[in-house]
Amino acid sequence: MKAKVFLVSMFLFLLTCAAPAAAQPPDLPQAISLRSPTRAFNEVYYFAIHDGLIYIKERVNGASWQLLGDSGSPENLLGTPITSDAMEEISVDGPILIAVSETRQIYYCKNGYAAPGAISWTDHWGTPLGAGQGVSLPEDIRGWALSQDDLLRNRFYYDQNGNAYPCMVTTIYALFENGREIHFTDPWTPPDWGYRIAGPFRDRFIAESLSAAASTLFVINRFGDMYTHQNDFDIGGGNPFFNYTYEDDVHYDTNDAILNFSLVRKRRVPDQVWYNQPKIHGRITKNITIFFPEDGAPGESDRILRVEGVSEEGIPGYFEKNLEGLFWHFVETPGRIIPEEDFIDNPPENMSHLTLGEAPEYTFPGTMTNLIFGAVEAELTDFSLVASPANLRLKTEDGTWIDLKLHHHFTLRNTPREHPGEDGDYVDLKGAIEIPAALRASEDKAVTDLLRHYFYVGKGEEKRFAKVSIKAKTDSVTLQTTSLSMKMAFSAESTR
């Protein structure tokens, strides 16, 4: 009997020696409080990348780090790795995970709340219906972040008229190398980085880093000035199935997000104001994080902002506050080592004026025409392919110039383009011409005639906006009203 036990023991020992050693969990932090290119978290898990592999840890006492799935690489529903590339970066928001490989290929996961062995991935991204050819993360960027606005957590957002609408949008934002351009991609748009959101100060603000969560962006410059803004493809006016407006007086008595999902109800296109967050009084870094808390209430304001820094005693940690809060408080994370090069100047006053770059804006002469009343001299100034509005000047019959506003926003494209409007071809935009109240109430016959003939606005009428379709590029702009009754053409080569 003893001989049999000895033989079995030897057999098991030899099997153990012959079997490949299981990957040992690396020495990763017990908790993750700030997101970075290799560290992330959602309401259920912590995520980390180490030696090209993805690790996961449940956010409960006693949990330990383990490989994500069987391999630590993106796997399909069957548990088979879909790539042999090493993973280099990761970003997480809610149930969505994005991993970036050593070749910059993006891998996309929708079930990031599932058990670690059941989390599945795809490399498809973009039209049609998220099954496109996939997309890669640009090389020359300062940072990037994933955002997920969904019915499970945030449930709805409020437009700037206070109306609630369901939110179901996944977005990856990238801060390009110049620190000024914020590009984004959505799994239901063409697989490219051609869509942009205007940064603070009409796209002139130079940011050091960017974070995002639940369609809210958070940026910081080298002087510790911070701004936040809510925008994505659906909020910003891109979805062709929704009814968008620039009117600021649209309110619904039954303000229910599901009822408002009706394609008839009007969603206000947001203005491009970024909200200046209060300065932090302390030593900080450029490492910032925004996230939707696990106990967050539905709506747009429940976000938490964190900025890495040290206390007055030099203890590492982070400053934290709610998105709409006025005061920051400090949370210690002892043992954390902060590289000295991550710290930034942080004077008490706002220094944004020292971090403003040059954003292209154009001035074009042109004409406004319709079939009945002919042509009117026009001029478009401060026009940007990204920042809105522009100034629209029209010359009345008696030679007086009047000033209106041309608002515009992106819309759905069908084909990939990295720099639409800057690549020599027109980009399609949607927008509206805003007629100021003073002009609508004018007693000047030349003014009232022009408004009536070209915009069908009589004296004292409340028609404030005229919807237009726009085609724009860096040397010319054309637009027409949706009724086709009026057209405008502007060009750098136009002459009067």
| pLDDT tens, N- to C-terminus, the chain (496 residues) | 344 333 334 433 333 343 334 455 788 999 999 999 999 999 999 999 999 999 999 999 999 999 999 999 999 999 999 999 999 999 999 999 999 999 999 999 999 999 998 999 999 999 998 999 999 999 999 999 999 998 888 888 889 998 888 888 999 999 999 999 999 999 999 999 999 999 999 999 999 999 999 999 999 999 999 999 999 999 999 999 999 999 999 988 776 766 666 677 899 999 999 999 999 999 999 999 999 998 776 665 789 999 999 999 999 999 999 999 999 999 999 888 999 999 999 999 999 999 999 999 999 999 999 989 999 999 999 999 999 999 999 999 999 999 999 999 999 999 999 999 999 999 999 999 999 999 999 999 999 999 999 998 877 777 899 999 999 999 999 999 977 689 999 998 654 4
The number of CA neighbours under 13 Å toward the Cβ of 184 is: 31
Cβ(2)–Cβ(32) under 8 Å?
Answer: no
Token pair, residue 25, equals 């969990």
Give the Cβ contact number of residue 415 at 10 Å: 9
The alpha-helical segments, DSSP class H, found in 214-335 are 257-260
Question: Which residues have C-beta within 8 Å of that of residue 379, sequence separation ≥ 6?
Answer: 363, 364, 365, 366, 392, 393, 401, 490
Cβ(309)–Cβ(319) under 8 Å?
Answer: yes
Degrees to nearest 5, angle at CA 434 with 429 and 439 = 155
What radius of gyration do the chain's Cα atoms show? 27
CA distance 147 to 185: 11
CB-count exposure of residue 112 (10 Å: 0-12, 13-18, 19+) = buried
The predicted model scores a pTM of 0.92
Place of tokens 């959602």: 42
Complete DSSP assignment for 107-151: EEES-TTS-GGG---B--BSSSTT-SB--B--SSEEEEEEEEE-T
Token pair, residue 375, equals 């042509």
Q: Output phi, psi for 16, to 5 deg.
A: -60, -40
Q: Output phi, psi for 4, to 5 deg.
A: -65, -45
Question: Which residues have C-beta within 8 Å of that of residue 321, sequence separation ≥ 6?
Answer: 278, 304, 305, 327, 328, 329
- For residue 407, the model assigns a pLDDT of 98
| Closest alpha carbon to 157 in 293, 41, 148, 389 | 148
- For residue 299, the model assigns a pLDDT of 63
- For residue 20, the model assigns a pLDDT of 39
| Closest alpha carbon to 480 in 455, 453, 449 | 455
Place of tokens 């790539």: 83
Three-class SS state of 67:
strand
- For residue 4, the model assigns a pLDDT of 39
CA distance 105 to 87: 9
Sign of CA dihedral 423, 426, 432, 437: positive
| Closest alpha carbon to 287 in 308, 258, 315 | 308
CA distance 287 to 457: 51
**What one-character DSSP code corresponds to residue 81?**
B
Degrees to nearest 5, angle at CA 256 with 230 and 196 = 20
